[in-house]
């Protein structure tokens, strides 16, 4: 039997102190899991590296010491460390964007990918490459923002207030934009080669210079997502109740929409349109800590990077002398969540 948002949130008030301790333990466990995942990301791959060597490489890098003439040290510092940092930031961005989308729309099957934002950002990036010759992440970001914002404006203007229609419009927008991306890529082999490296989402080849250009957008989006968490709790009660409690519903949706575009657009520009993390992570967080969006947001901030880094590590070790893109593995992880949602198992409290 499904639980209404009002009843679910009302139940939060009557929880015992054990609930708070459990949530704290979950959060601490995720912090530990993130640390273990980071270590695995730095140590495992086509070339496995001893954790002690990883530690030596990191401490030497942190102190500014020159890299020794050691291939393992160079692999850790020059290749895997930037890749891991990008995975942490992109995973957090996608998870927070998905949390905001579900909170704003009160739709349990909403995420930036399913609502067409990733497709809009992808088309804009492809057009910028073909028409203007843009090839740097800093150049991509503005077009990614524009594409994601245009898709968001279209989807939300048609499907606002109607969760089922919102999902249908998002799927339609994605279906319309995907062929346009293909047609555009046919015009340029250079753009095609650039696009295919991140079309399914991958952390391979991303360098720290890209993140150095884009991190302010991710920080602003994350701060706004955290600030909107309590407002999501009021929105879950319905627009009328939220308005009666003094919230400006329109302003909340507009600010949250800007954060969604900023987070998903930046993540897409960095690692490509990785699907289903924005859907799966909020549902997993809701299962772990309940329906309070303040805790869901906190859990998503750590769980998103864990999922993306795990997907990246699995992709590296599952195929000898090669690797499977993180986007493919992440989709395989998130697909069971989507099936559970379709069967009505994860709708409680949304």
Q: Does position 153 have pLDDT exceeding 70, yes or no? A: yes
- Euclidean distance between CA atoms 175 and 60, whole angstroms: 49
Arithmetic mean of pLDDT, 247-262: 85
Question: pLDDT value at position 204?
Answer: 78
Residue 10 has pLDDT above 60, yes or no: no
Pair of tokens at residue 95: 């998870």
Asked if residues 76 and 54 have their Cβ atoms less than 8 Å apart, the reply is yes
Which pair of structure tokens corresponds to residue 218? 């991710």
> What sign does the dihedral 157-161-165-169 (CA atoms) show?
positive
Residue pLDDT, tens place only, 101-140? 888 888 777 788 777 888 898 888 888 888 888 877 667 7
In whole angstroms, give the CA distance from residue 120 to residue 22. Answer: 39
Residue 304's alpha-carbon distances to 1, 102, 214, 234, 307, in angstroms, are: 29, 15, 18, 24, 5
Extract the tokens encoding 247.
């919230």
- Of 122, 145, 124, nearest to 216 by C-alpha is 145
Query: What are the tokens at 243?
Result: 């308005």
List C-alpha distances in Å: 96 to 72, 126, 132, 238. Answer: 34, 25, 31, 21
- Quick one: tokens of 173? 């927008």
pLDDT for position 13? 47
How would DSSP label each residue in 262-291? HHHHHHHHHH----SHHHHHHHHHHHHH-S
Distance CA 145, CA 112 (A): 13
In the three-class reduction of DSSP (H, G, I as helix; E, B as strand; rest coil), residue 41 is classed as helix
Question: In the structure encoding, which two tokens stand for residue 248, read together?
Answer: 């400006």
pLDDT in tens, 167-186: 788 888 989 998 988 888 88
Residue 24 has pLDDT above 60, yes or no: yes
Domains of the chain: 5-342 (1.10.3470.10)
Phi, psi of 63 (to 5 degrees): -85, 0
**Contact status, residue 206 vs residue 136, Cβ threshold 8 Å:** no
Is 179 strand, coil or helix?
Answer: helix
How far apart CA 44 and CA 286 sit, in angstroms, is 30
Give the orientation angle of helix 137-159 with respect to helix 117-132, to 10 degrees. 140
Q: What is the DSSP letter of 68?
A: P
Tokens linked to 286: 């809701």
Position of tokens 């594409």? 147
Burial label, 234 (beta-carbon count in 10 A; 0-12, 13-18, 19+): buried
Residue 267 pLDDT:
87
- The pLDDT of residue 1 is 43
End-to-end CA distance of the chain: 13
Average pLDDT value for the chain:
82
Query: Using one digit for the tens of pLDDT, what is the confidence trace for 43-86?
Result: 998 888 888 988 988 888 878 777 777 788 888 888 899 899 99
Q: How confident is the model at residue 161 (pLDDT cuts 50, 70, 90)?
A: low
Task: Return the SS3 of 347.
Answer: coil
Alpha-helical regions (H) of 44-162: 51-62, 71-74, 81-105, 117-132, 137-159
Neighbours of 64 (CB within 10 A): 6
Alpha-carbon span 101 to 4, nearest angstrom: 18
């Amino acid at each position: 039997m499904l639980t209404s948002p009002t009843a679910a949130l009302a139940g939060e008030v009557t929880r015992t102190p054990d609930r708070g301790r459990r949530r704290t333990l979950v959060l601490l466990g995720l912090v530990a899991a993130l640390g273990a995942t980071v270590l695995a990301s730095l140590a495992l791959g086509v070339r496995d590296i001893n954790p002690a060597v990883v530690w030596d490489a990191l401490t030497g890098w942190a102190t500014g010491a020159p890299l020794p003439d050691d291939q393992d040290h160079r692999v850790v510092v020059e290749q895997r460390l930037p890749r891991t940092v990008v995975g942490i930031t992109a995973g957090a961005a996608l998870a927070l964007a998905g949390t905001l989308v579900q909170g704003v729309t009160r739709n349990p099957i909403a995420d930036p990918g399913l609502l067409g934002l990733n497709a809009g950002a992808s088309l804009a990036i492809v057009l910028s490459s073909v028409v203007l010759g843009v090839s740097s992440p800093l150049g991509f970001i503005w077009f990614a923002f524009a594409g994601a914002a245009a898709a968001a404006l279209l989807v939300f203007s048609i499907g606002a207030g109607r969760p089922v229609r919102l999902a249908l419009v998002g799927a339609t927008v994605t279906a319309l934009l995907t062929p346009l991306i293909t047609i555009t890529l046919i015009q340029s082999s250079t753009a095609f080669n650039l696009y295919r490296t991140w079309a399914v989402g991958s952390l391979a080849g991303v360098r720290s210079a890209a993140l150095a250009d884009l991190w302010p957008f991710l920080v602003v989006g994350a701060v706004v997502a955290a600030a909107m968490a309590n407002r999501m709790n009021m929105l879950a009660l319905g627009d009328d109740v939220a308005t009666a409690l003094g919230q400006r519903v329109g302003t909340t949706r507009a600010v949250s929409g800007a954060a969604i575009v900023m987070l998903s657009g930046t993540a897409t520009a960095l690692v490509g349109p990785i699907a289903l993390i924005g859907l799966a992570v909020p549902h997993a967080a809701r299962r772990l800590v309940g329906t309070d969006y303040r805790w869901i947001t906190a859990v998503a901030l750590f769980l998103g990077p864990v999922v993306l880094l795990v997907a990246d590590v699995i992709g590296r070790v599952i195929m000898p002398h090669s690797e499977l893109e993180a986007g493919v593995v992440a989709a395989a992880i998130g697909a069971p969540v989507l099936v559970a949602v379709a069967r009505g198992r994860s709708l409680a409290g949304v």
